[in-house]
Chain A
Amino acid sequence: MRPAGAKLSLGAFLMATGHHIAAWRHPEAAADAGIRFEHYVRLARAAEQAGFDLLFLEDAAGLREANANIASQTSRSVGFEPLSLLAGLAAHTSTIGLVATASTSYNEPYALARAFASLDLLSGGRAGWNLVTSASTIEAANFGAEGLCRHGDRYGRANEFADIVKRLWDPADRARPIAHEGENFSVFQGLGLPPSPQGAPVLVQAGASDVGRDLAARTADVVFTAAQTFEVAKSFYDDVKHRVREAGRNPDHLRIMPGVSPVVAETRAAAQEKFEQLQALIPDEVALALLASYLDTDALKGLPLDGPLPELPATQGMQSRQALVIEQSRRDGLSIRDVARHFAGARGHWRVVGTASDIADQLEEWFTGEAADGFNILPAVFPGELDSFVSLVIPELQRRGLFREAYDGRTLRANLGLV
């Protein structure tokens, strides 16, 4: 059970025109928002005004879509590099946390530790690093020859990388050289930079695999995750908290925050209409390409979009996703187009469509049922759906005593309750 008065954490996951794949076509979105700094300043200030714990940015060191025809119909081929964007936003905000994603596969631990320590210093103790490993062949093609990812497996490298970064960040080790000689890296230098008011940047992780969960349990302060049902979220939560205990840490020192993409309006009908308006903007080709990639299959090519989903040969590691999609399409009598749009919209994240009270009910259920310590909010369209969440859902969460009225402190660690 949660102690009385426990508060949930909220992240504002910023992304150009919105998390919905067709957000850039929405009449209320500025189509080129993803390359305009003022757009992000506007979003960052709105999120800070509302008391969000942190801003979150994802990352890829390359295009997200190799097929030029599909890429030309989506807005994700060009954007900002997250660390420079957050350094710029640090100058326009004062309290909200600033979390950027960066891969252990294509960086050097010393350079990455130094970059986040710099952001931490400039922002007065508000920086966080979301550790990811890269499996994308598009990214790999941008880092050939001298190559950074030669030895060991991705997670072996990530484990060693995280340990080096944490040592370099340790306030006690700032002024002296560390001595690290490992399988992937050798680092014989200290950071030399003074620590920020929060001591060290917050470490975030999002890996859901077995090795990813172990790495998070051992090193992370926050875990982001994708779960579409309470049961899946609860089982992930219990498993990771168990691993944290096994690693000899206090389970309260790791915050688990699933992603959720809300579409909220004054009435359920209005929310549903808003959602359907967005769904109708997804080009068939884009929806189909995303579904094929999500299901890891070529079997949809040439099939009528109004027809049912075919039987799919099971592929390694994808069985549970496939089963989920197929089961839902059979149950609800969905066509290939319906299913494709359904999955294209929220990119596999939990989606809730309804009134402020509907959405608060579900967040409250996950929070009090200990399936989540907070949520990373993925607004479908920016700034519209962030503003709606702020004006409708946050007051409802505050009324229920689930979310802060004012910031607890000035650093990210203080606001996450990690100090």
Chain B
Amino acid sequence: MPAALALSGPFATEPDSWHPATLLETVRAAEQAGLPFVILPDRIAAADGTGAWPDATLLAAWLAASTQTIGFLAATSAVGHQPYNLARRIASLDIISGGRTGWFVRNDDEANERAAFSGATRLPEGNSAERIAEFVSVVRGLWQSWDADALLLDRESGRFLDPSKMHVLNHQGPHFSVQGPLNVMRSPQDLPVLAVDGGTRDAEADLVITPNTFTIRGSDSEPHTLLVVENPAEAARLLASGPNDSPPKQATLRSRLGLIKETRS
């Protein structure tokens, strides 16, 4: 498995920091070099107004529309979101990308997120492990709202879909109550890839990510290299000297990582 790329450093503060155009150049170079995926940070501004990146799910949609094979993980915190909205956004992004995307569940509880998201009233317990676990389980459930063959598309009979292949979630939990189903079709890779960091326990996560490695569940369990780059020049240098595999013709991120397709009843 070739190394993957994690973007870091400031966005749009200096001419040589990240900008939309240099982000696109970098992911195209990473795609050419055969890298499996890029992690996009999803940071909001710090109290002093610095450090903000664009919304990673939208950045991923924009980059995916201009690439063919490389995958994208949006490192999005659950704090500013509701599970139904985030599940939709990523499911939709996954169809746009042809099954090349996933969610890296960021779990830090930063003061600037509380300051931005009505923290005092809405998140008295912060971004607790319990809230994150429930959030992730709802998102995963919503991603299974539709079977892959739910659309009949039968013009003659007038039946567009088969309601028996639609699954209502009916989740009732301490933090969320979500009926479902999701109004986005099943992912081209069955489920978008789900990644967690070393401190989050999630037995079903596809990837475990540490500051400099990623480990794929259920395969070799060997940690693979994650190249963290702070700016476009550093990325260009590493990609020029680093591993250079020829990219696959067309594959989902899940199949490319050797992740076994989820089975379901």
Residues of A within 8 Å of B51, CB to CB, are 192
Q: Evaluate contact between B45 and A189: CB separation under 8 angstroms.
A: yes
Cross-chain pair count, CB within 8 angstroms: 202
A: number of interface residues (CB 8 Å): 68
Given A69-B163, A84-B57, A108-B81, list of 9 further CB < 8 A pairs?
A60-B183, A89-B65, A118-B59, A142-B180, A144-B177, A177-B47, A186-B119, A191-B52, A192-B44
Main secondary structure of the interface of A (DSSP, over half): loop
Interface residues in A173-193 (C-beta closer than 8 Å to B):
174-177, 185-193
Residues of B within 8 Å of A27, CB to CB, are 155
Q: Evaluate contact between B163 and A71: CB separation under 8 angstroms.
A: yes
Write the nearest CB–CB distance from A60 to chain B, whole angstroms: 7
The answer to whether B96 has its CB under 8 Å from any CB of chain A is yes
**Residue of B57, B62, B63, B161 ringed by the most chain A CB atoms within 10 A:** B62
Q: Evaluate contact between B117 and A110: CB separation under 8 angstroms.
A: yes
Interface residues in B44-85 (C-beta closer than 8 Å to A):
44-47, 49-52, 54-55, 57-59, 61-66, 80-82, 84-85
Which single residue of chain A is at the shortest CB-CB distance from B58? A87
Interface residues in B103-124 (C-beta closer than 8 Å to A):
112, 115-122
Residues of B within 8 Å of A174, CB to CB, are 49
Q: Evaluate contact between B64 and A110: CB separation under 8 angstroms.
A: no
Write the nearest CB–CB distance from B118 to chain A, whole angstroms: 5
The answer to whether A146 has its CB under 8 Å from any CB of chain B is yes
Which single residue of chain B is at the shortest CB-CB distance from A175? B49
Q: How far is the CA of A37 from the CA of B64 in the complex (A)?
A: 11
Q: Evaluate contact between A110 and B80: CB separation under 8 angstroms.
A: yes
**Residue of B12, B82, B181 ringed by the most chain A CB atoms within 10 A:** B82
Residues of A within 8 Å of B115, CB to CB, are 177, 187-189
The answer to whether B185 has its CB under 8 Å from any CB of chain A is yes
Interface size class of B (residues with CB under 8 A): 35 or more
14 inter-chain pairs at a CB distance below 8 angstroms, sorted by A residue, are: A37-B95, A37-B98, A69-B163, A72-B163, A74-B160, A84-B57, A106-B82, A110-B116, A110-B117, A111-B117, A119-B55, A146-B82, A148-B122, A191-B45
The answer to whether A35 has its CB under 8 Å from any CB of chain B is yes
Interface residues in B143-162 (C-beta closer than 8 Å to A):
146, 151, 153, 155, 158-162
Q: How far is the CA of A176 from the CA of B46 in the complex (A)?
A: 10
Residue among B44, B62, B84 making CB contact with A91, cutoff 8 Å: B62
Residue among A25, A80, A190 making CB contact with B155, cutoff 8 Å: A25
Q: Using an 8 Å CB-CB cutoff, how does the interface string of A185-207 with B read, 1 for contact, 0 for none? A: 11111111110000000000000
